[in-house]
């Protein structure tokens, strides 16, 4: 069952500056992104060919991006493990970047580093964070969302304005089904994609049959224990490599970021999810184990058939002497009379 997310881009007034100069310099284009989920059926019938993803039109200018997670501790609806889920969702982006750059280049993306802190634990390490992550019980059926990321982009420079704020719901919009750790992980991964500068991809399923992380709706049913971890796609990574192409410059960011641009994969990059190596190995091990199980089943069946053949053989062998006798009787029976006559051709 699909859930579509509504995205609203609201242009907000720039924050009031104290001086005219500051006002001019800080003329901000406010972009409010509302990632919401309703229970409208999402179309899963998009053809993956021609998949596109627009960017938000903003970039961070320091490759070290800091994130502070504020757990909703002591709230009855909050699970302590959500903090871990969000932290892992963020660090896993870096792992996917490693796997992607190994395959398709854009090595400079590895300069991106994500420093996560937990409020009340070690948030002083993060100073003034670029991104703040907080939790809410439910967005409610009106906004119908699972996650929301609001960000602002400095006008004409394409630079994100601190802070970007991500809000994650613990319950679905009907406030009846609680997110599993996998759900929380997936929603946090999606929202972090927005915080990095990606908008929504146009397809829900990649060419390899996996979910497109940046599709506007969550492709899995909230609360289902069989849900799987999603990963950024090669399309997401390709767009990201364009947002952060300034990283190739040793002196870092200068000038302006790129305007919002729609990207599609160039030939040579297969469209699929980019799982970290550890998970690729796990998938491989799982398939090897599956293969082992199948070999074991074949071996057991073969052994059974061999045993049956052996038993039949023994039974036949026990019967054989009788048969052999009767046969030998036939053979040993009175020899056909050989007529020896005195008649010769000589
Ligand atoms: Zn979204």
Q: Tell me, yes or no, whether 168 and 302 share the same domain.
A: no
Domain membership of residue 236 (yes or no) is: yes
Pairing of strands 147-154, 64-69: unpaired
Q: Tell me, yes or no, whether 325 and 204 share the same domain.
A: no
Closest among 252, 114, 121 to 188, alpha carbons compared = 114
- Rounded to two decimals, the ipTM of the complex is 0.99
Q: Tell me, yes or no, whether 263 and 330 share the same domain.
A: no
C-alpha 263 – ligand 1 centre gap (Å): 17
C-alpha 287 – ligand 1 centre gap (Å): 32
Quote the pLDDT of residue 149.
Answer: 96
Boundary of a domain, candidates 258, 275, 292 = 275
Q: Tell me, yes or no, whether 136 and 220 share the same domain.
A: yes
How confident is the model over 272-320, as pLDDT tens digits?
A: 999 999 998 988 888 888 888 888 898 999 988 999 999 998 899 887 6
Domain membership of residue 111 (yes or no) is: yes
C-alpha 324 – ligand 1 centre gap (Å): 83
138 band by pLDDT with thresholds 50, 70 and 90: very high
Boundary of a domain, candidates 256, 275, 294 = 275
C-alpha 194 – ligand 1 centre gap (Å): 7
C-alpha 231 – ligand 1 centre gap (Å): 14
Query: Any idea what the CATH number is for the domain that residue 221 is in?
Result: 3.40.390.10
Residue 245 has pLDDT above 60, yes or no: yes
> Which of left, alpha, beta for 140 (phi over 0: left; psi -120 to 50: alpha)?
left
C-alpha 34 – ligand 1 centre gap (Å): 8
C-alpha 140 – ligand 1 centre gap (Å): 17
What secondary structure does DSSP assign to 80-132, as a single string?
A: THHHHHHHHHHHHHHHHHHHHHHHH--GGGGG-EEEEEETTTTGGGGSS-SEE
Helix 81-104 to helix 181-196 angle (10° resolution) is 50
Quote the pLDDT of residue 23.
Answer: 42
Q: Tell me, yes or no, whether 219 and 116 share the same domain.
A: yes
Q: Domain containing 304: what range?
A: 279-334
Mean pLDDT across the chain? 83
Q: Tell me, yes or no, whether 240 and 298 share the same domain.
A: no
Domain membership of residue 296 (yes or no) is: yes
Quote the pLDDT of residue 318.
Answer: 86
Domain membership of residue 56 (yes or no) is: yes
Greater confidence (190 vs 5) lies with 190
C-alpha 147 – ligand 1 centre gap (Å): 7
334 band by pLDDT with thresholds 50, 70 and 90: low
C-alpha 118 – ligand 1 centre gap (Å): 23
Q: Tell me, yes or no, whether 214 and 319 share the same domain.
A: no
Q: Tell me, yes or no, whether 134 and 84 share the same domain.
A: yes
C-alpha 148 – ligand 1 centre gap (Å): 7
C-alpha 93 – ligand 1 centre gap (Å): 16
Please count the structural domains in the chain.
2
Domain membership of residue 200 (yes or no) is: yes
Q: Catalogue the long-range contacts made by 336-343 (C-beta closer than 8 Å, 24 or more residues apart).
A: none
Residue 26 has pLDDT above 70, yes or no: no
Domain membership of residue 246 (yes or no) is: yes
C-alpha 183 – ligand 1 centre gap (Å): 14
Q: Tell me, yes or no, whether 217 and 79 share the same domain.
A: yes
Domain membership of residue 270 (yes or no) is: yes
C-alpha 200 – ligand 1 centre gap (Å): 6
C-alpha 247 – ligand 1 centre gap (Å): 25
C-alpha 305 – ligand 1 centre gap (Å): 57
Residue 219 CA to residue 227 CA, distance in Å, equals 10
Q: Tell me, yes or no, whether 267 and 284 share the same domain.
A: no
Boundary of a domain, candidates 275, 290, 317 = 275
Q: Tell me, yes or no, whether 241 and 293 share the same domain.
A: no
C-alpha 128 – ligand 1 centre gap (Å): 25
Cβ-in-10-Å burial (0-12, 13-18, 19+) of 135 comes to buried
Q: Tell me, yes or no, whether 208 and 330 share the same domain.
A: no
Domain membership of residue 339 (yes or no) is: no
C-alpha 214 – ligand 1 centre gap (Å): 6
How confident is the model over 173-224, as pLDDT tens digits?
A: 999 999 999 999 999 999 999 999 999 999 999 999 999 999 999 999 999 9
């Amino acid at each position: 069952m699909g859930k579509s997310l509504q995205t609203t881009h609201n242009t907000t007034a720039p924050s009031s500056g104290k001086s005219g100069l500051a006002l001019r310099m800080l003329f901000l284009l406010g972009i409010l992104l509302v990632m919401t989920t309703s229970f409208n059926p999402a179309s899963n019938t998009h053809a993956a060919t021609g998949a596109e993803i627009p960017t938000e039109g903003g970039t961070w200018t320091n490759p070290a991006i800091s994130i502070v997670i504020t757990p909703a501790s002591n709230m009855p609806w909050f699970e302590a493990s959500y903090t871990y889920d969000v932290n892992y969702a963020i660090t896993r982006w870096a792992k996917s970047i490693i796997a992607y750059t190994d395959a398709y280049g854009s090595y400079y993306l590895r300069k991106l580093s994500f420093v996560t802190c937990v409020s009340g634990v070690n948030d002083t390490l993060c100073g003034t964070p670029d991104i703040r992550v907080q939790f809410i019980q439910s967005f409610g059926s009106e906004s119908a969302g699972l996650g929301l990321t609001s960000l602002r982009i400095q006008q004409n420079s394409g630079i994100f304005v601190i802070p970007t704020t991500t809000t994650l719901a613990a319950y679905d919009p009907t406030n009846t089904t609680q997110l599993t750790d996998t759900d929380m992980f997936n929603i946090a991964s999606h929202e972090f994609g927005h915080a990095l500068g990606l908008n929504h991809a146009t397809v829900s399923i990649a060419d390899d049959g996996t979910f497109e992380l940046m599709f506007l709706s969550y492709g899995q049913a909230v609360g289902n224990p069989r849900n799987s971890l999603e990963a950024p796609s090669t399309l997401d990574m390709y767009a990201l490599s364009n947002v952060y192409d300034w990283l190739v410059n040793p002196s870092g960011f200068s000038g302006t970021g790129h305007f919002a641009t729609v990207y599609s994969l160039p030939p040579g990059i297969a469209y699929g999810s980019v799982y970290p190596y550890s998970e690729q190995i796990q998938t491989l091990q799982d398939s090897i184990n599956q293969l082992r199980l199948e070999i074991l089943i074949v071996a057991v069946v073969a052994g059974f058939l061999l045993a049956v053949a052996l038993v039949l053989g023994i039974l036949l062998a026990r019967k054989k002497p009788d048969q052999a006798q009767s046969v030998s009787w036939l053979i040993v029976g009175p020899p056909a009379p050989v007529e020896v006559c005195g008649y010769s051709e000589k």
